[in-house]
């Protein structure tokens, strides 16, 4: 029998890698994890956590504006970006220590440095070689800059989170999660914001009605929308940046953020040495047990480019450890994963879009309502929320739920439980609402329109 230094060597101490390490160690495996940057990975260090703290900061900006309608007189308010970043850094450092403690308590050996696979069961970190029975690739993804002249003048969300000073004028390129979220952050902090997106609608892959709704909501919040607008080039001039749009328009800003997608971190990992295939996007294809094309090498999280969300990576890491070290084989479950975009207002959904539901189930009933939320009556904010349910015409089962509203993320979590439990429209109808709330619309929707694959 082979003897290795470790039963499991994990590359990357982000959400997926840390969960897999801890669970595997809990089953008695000898585990090491290598991390080249900071423990916690994208979510903790430069993603979900710091982004959400910045979102909270910006919500006060919107709330200050809204407060006047409720009788508040706020004489002077200003925002100190550097104080926010300092407070955010302190919290992130605290969480990083929590991760370190969790790994330590679980008996996982942490190695700081960039790991490369050098042989079938061999990984090297800082010129030290380790052997392992299994290798788990959990290296995540990194932001990608578009290939345009002046791309090097653009920053990514990573840079924004570490910036010492806030810009007054910002152009955000892209129309996905990060673009929508950072546009809201800067807008709430009182900055002038342009969203420049090459497509006609934001959030590709989301329900079409949702995409239209969030586009008009972000515009109503004061963000300057430039849709169907490709960026031709970026140039630095007299301390500012010029963003050249395909339409001929030139935006003059203090910061250009590229939120144009992320790429799996596989370059230079040595995957080819152990026969691990990589697809055209640079992602590692895996089966439902997160197994790569090489027997003892597994991969979880964003590096596999399945559903790139923290809870999914954690689930994949946990299922891997159960399967390989816990004698409890279980495939990953990617059905009905709820998700939210922390734009302002937020977008959240679980299940299928209308088009997907039609394609998969033929005939569906669509229930939706868009209305002015109560809070907007006194605040005077030009704001509408959207609540939408899609039910299977044959079984009455709810196939998809979508919402664009403040706190949409908090609302969708409970709806996701209902979908996972197989709730029908009749179950929703039998549930009483919480009044007055936006969420109650999910149980009071009554009039349906019928949709079929041919219409969508
Ligand atoms: P997304 O894939 O969500 O969005 C990328 C955007 O950039 C799209 O609008 C895309 O347009 C556009 N784009 C891509 N390439 C170019 C280009 N060359 N020029 C101009 N525009 C371009 O990526 P993000 O980086 O925003 O987020 C990455 C992933 O991380 C998300 O998909 C999500 O899985 C995860 N994430 C989750 C969050 C959450 O849960 N709240 C928050 C942030 C990220 P087009 O649509 O036309 O392709």
Give the pLDDT confidence of 194-241 residue by residue, as tens digits: 999 999 999 999 999 999 999 999 999 999 999 999 999 999 999 999
Cβ proximity of 156 and 145 under 8 Å: yes
| Separation CA 186–CA 189 (nearest Å) | 5
Q: What average pLDDT does this structure show over 340-361?
A: 98
Q: How far apart are the first and last CA of the chain?
A: 58
Cβ proximity of 399 and 361 under 8 Å: yes
Cβ proximity of 179 and 202 under 8 Å: yes
pLDDT of 297 > 90? The answer is: yes
Comparing C-alpha atoms, which of 59, 58, 16 is closest to residue 35?
16
Q: What average pLDDT does this structure show over 362-386?
A: 97
Q: Which CATH number fits domain 6-143+263-325: 3.40.50.2300, 1.10.600.10, 3.50.50.60, 1.25.40.10?
A: 3.50.50.60
CATH fold of the domain at 151-260: FAD/NAD(P)-binding domain (3.50.50)
pLDDT of 247 > 60? The answer is: yes
If one residue of 174, 226, 259 were mutated to test the ligand 1 pocket, choosing by the most ligand atoms within 8 A of its CB, it would be 174
Comparing C-alpha atoms, which of 380, 371, 375, 428 is closest to residue 400?
428
pLDDT tens sequence across 42-88: 999 999 999 999 999 999 999 999 999 999 999 889 999 999 999 99
> pLDDT band for position 306 (50/70/90)?
very high
Q: Give the pocket of ligand 1 (CB within 6 Å).
A: 146, 173-179, 181, 197-199, 204, 259-262, 308-309, 339-342
Question: Which atom of ligand 1 is least distant from the CA of 339?
Answer: 40
How far, in Å, from the CA of 252 to the mean position of ligand 1? Answer: 23
Structure confidence at residue 155 (pLDDT):
98
Cβ neighbors of 423 (< 8 A, separation 6 or more) are 397, 398
Q: Longest Cα pair distance anywhere in the chain, in angstroms?
A: 76
Question: Which atom of ligand 1 is least distant from the CA of 202?
Answer: 9
pLDDT tens sequence across 12-30: 999 999 999 999 999 999 9
Altogether, the residues listed in the chain come to a count of 456
How far, in Å, from the CA of 178 to the mean position of ligand 1? Answer: 6
The helix (H) or strand (E) run that includes residue 3 is none
Shared fold status for 6-143+263-325 and 339-451: no
How far, in Å, from the CA of 352 to the mean position of ligand 1? Answer: 19
Q: What is the DSSP string of 428-441?
A: HHHSPPPSS-STTH
Radius of gyration, CA atoms only, the chain = 24
Structure confidence at residue 455 (pLDDT):
67
> pLDDT band for position 423 (50/70/90)?
very high
Cβ proximity of 215 and 225 under 8 Å: yes
Structure confidence at residue 1 (pLDDT):
57
Structure confidence at residue 75 (pLDDT):
87
- Closest residue (by CA) to atom 31 of ligand 1? 177
| Separation CA 332–CA 298 (nearest Å) | 13
| Separation CA 178–CA 174 (nearest Å) | 8
Mean pLDDT score of the chain: 97
- Closest residue (by CA) to atom 36 of ligand 1? 177
pLDDT tens sequence across 182-193: 999 999 999 999
- Closest residue (by CA) to atom 15 of ligand 1? 260
Q: What is the DSSP string of 209-244?
A: HHHHHHHHHHHHTT-EEETT--EEEEEEETTEEEEE
pLDDT of 424 > 70? The answer is: yes
> What crossing angle do the helices spanning 81-106 and 48-67 adopt, rounded to 10°?
140
Question: Which atom of ligand 1 is least distant from the CA of 177?
Answer: 26
Strands 364-371 and 385-392, sheet pairing: antiparallel
Question: Which atom of ligand 1 is least distant from the CA of 230?
Answer: 20
Question: Which atom of ligand 1 is least distant from the CA of 147?
Answer: 18
Structure confidence at residue 456 (pLDDT):
58
Comparing C-alpha atoms, which of 138, 139, 137 is closest to residue 294?
137
Tokens 């990083």 belong to which residue? Answer: 96
Structure confidence at residue 453 (pLDDT):
84
pLDDT of 107 > 70? The answer is: yes
How far, in Å, from the CA of 431 to the mean position of ligand 1? Answer: 36
Residue ranges per structural domain of the chain: 6-143+263-325, 151-260, 339-451
Cβ proximity of 92 and 44 under 8 Å: yes
Q: What is the DSSP string of 84-123?
A: HHHHHHHHHHHHHHHHHHHHHHHTPEEEES-EEEEETTEE
How far, in Å, from the CA of 180 to the mean position of ligand 1? Answer: 9
435 noted as active-site residue: yes
CA dihedral angle for residue 211, residue 185, residue 257, residue 221, rounded to 10 degrees: 50
How far, in Å, from the CA of 290 to the mean position of ligand 1? Answer: 24
User: Residue 273 CB: number of other CB atoms within 10 A?
Assistant: 14
Q: What is the DSSP string of 14-66?
A: SHHHHHHHHHHHHTT--EEEEESS-TTHIIIIISHHHHHHHHHHHHHHHHHHH
- Closest residue (by CA) to atom 25 of ligand 1? 261
- Closest residue (by CA) to atom 16 of ligand 1? 260
pLDDT tens sequence across 272-281: 999 999 999 9
- Closest residue (by CA) to atom 39 of ligand 1? 341
Q: Which two tokens stand for residue 274?
A: 């152990």
119 phi and psi angles, rounded to 5 deg: -160, 175
- Specify the CATH number of the domain 339-451: 3.30.390.30
Task: Given the residues 79, 213, 435, 450, select the one marked as catalytic.
Answer: 435
How far, in Å, from the CA of 99 to the mean position of ligand 1? Answer: 28
Cβ proximity of 444 and 433 under 8 Å: yes
If one residue of 230, 261, 337 were mutated to test the ligand 1 pocket, choosing by the most ligand atoms within 8 A of its CB, it would be 261
pLDDT tens sequence across 139-188: 999 999 999 999 999 999 999 999 999 999 999 999 999 999 999 999 99
Residues 338, 177, 455: CA angle, nearest 5 degrees? 70
> pLDDT band for position 98 (50/70/90)?
very high
pLDDT tens sequence across 316-345: 999 999 999 999 999 999 999 999 999 999
pLDDT tens sequence across 279-293: 999 999 999 999 999
Q: What average pLDDT does this structure show over 92-116?
A: 98
Cβ proximity of 451 and 364 under 8 Å: yes
| Separation CA 132–CA 6 (nearest Å) | 5
pLDDT of 104 > 60? The answer is: yes
The 8-class DSSP code of residue 155 comes to: B
Cβ proximity of 320 and 290 under 8 Å: yes
If one residue of 260, 281, 308, 350 were mutated to test the ligand 1 pocket, choosing by the most ligand atoms within 8 A of its CB, it would be 260
């Amino acid at each position: 029998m082979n003897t290795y230094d470790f039963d499991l060597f994990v590359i990357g101490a982000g959400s997926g890698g840390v969960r897999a390490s801890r669970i595997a160690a809990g089953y008695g495996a000898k585990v090491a994890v290598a991390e080249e940057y900071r423990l916690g990975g994208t979510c903790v260090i430069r993603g979900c956590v710091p982004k959400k703290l910045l979102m909270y900061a910006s919500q006060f900006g919107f709330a200050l504006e809204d407060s006047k309608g409720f009788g508040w007189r706020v004489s002077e308010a200003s925002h100190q970006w550097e104080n926010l970043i300092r407070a955010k850094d302190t919290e992130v450092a605290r969480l990083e220590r929590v991760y370190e403690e969790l790994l330590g308590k679980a008996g996982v050996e942490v190695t700081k440095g960039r790991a490369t696979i050098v042989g079938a069961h061999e990984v090297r970190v800082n010129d030290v070689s380790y052997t392992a029975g299994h290798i788990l690739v959990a290296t995540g993804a990194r932001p990608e800059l578009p290939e345009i002249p002046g791309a090097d003048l653009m920053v990514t969300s990573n840079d924004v989170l570490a910036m010492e000073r806030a810009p007054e004028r910002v152009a955000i390129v892209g129309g996905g999660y990060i673009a929508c979220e950072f546009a809201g952050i800067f807008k709430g902090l009182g900055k002038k914001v342009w969203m420049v997106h090459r497509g006609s609608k934001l959030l590709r892959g989301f329900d079409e009605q949702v995409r239209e709704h969030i586009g008009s909501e972000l515009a109503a919040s004061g963000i300057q929308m430039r849709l169907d607008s490709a960026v031709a080039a970026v140039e630095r001039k007299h301390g500012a940046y010029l963003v050249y749009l395909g339409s001929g328009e030139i935006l003059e800003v203090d910061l250009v953020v590229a939120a144009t997608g992320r790429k799996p971190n596989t370059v230079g990992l040595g995957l080819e040495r152990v026969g691990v295939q990589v697809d055209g996007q640079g992602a590692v294809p895996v089966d439902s047990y997160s197994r790569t094309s090489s027997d003892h090498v597994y991969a979880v999280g964003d590096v596999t480019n399945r559903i790139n969300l923290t809870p999914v990576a954690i689930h994949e890491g946990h299922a891997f450890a159960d399967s390989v070290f816990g004698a409890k084989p279980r495939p990953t479950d990617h059905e009905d994963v709820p998700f939210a975009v922390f734009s302002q207002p937020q977008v959240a959904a679980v299940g299928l879009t209308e088009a997907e539901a039609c394609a998969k189930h033929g005939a569906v009933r669509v229930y939706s309502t868009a209305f002015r939320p109560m809070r907007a009556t006194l605040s005077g904010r030009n704001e509408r929320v959207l609540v939408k349910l899609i039910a299977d015409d044959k079984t009455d089962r709810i196939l998809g739920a979508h919402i664009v509203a403040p706190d949409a993320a908090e609302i969708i979590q409970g709806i996701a439980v209902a979908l996972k439990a197989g709730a029908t429209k009749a179950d929703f109808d039998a549930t009483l609402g919480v009044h007055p709330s936006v969420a109650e619309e999910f149980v009071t929707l009554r009039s349906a329109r019928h949709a079929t694959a041919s219409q969508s």
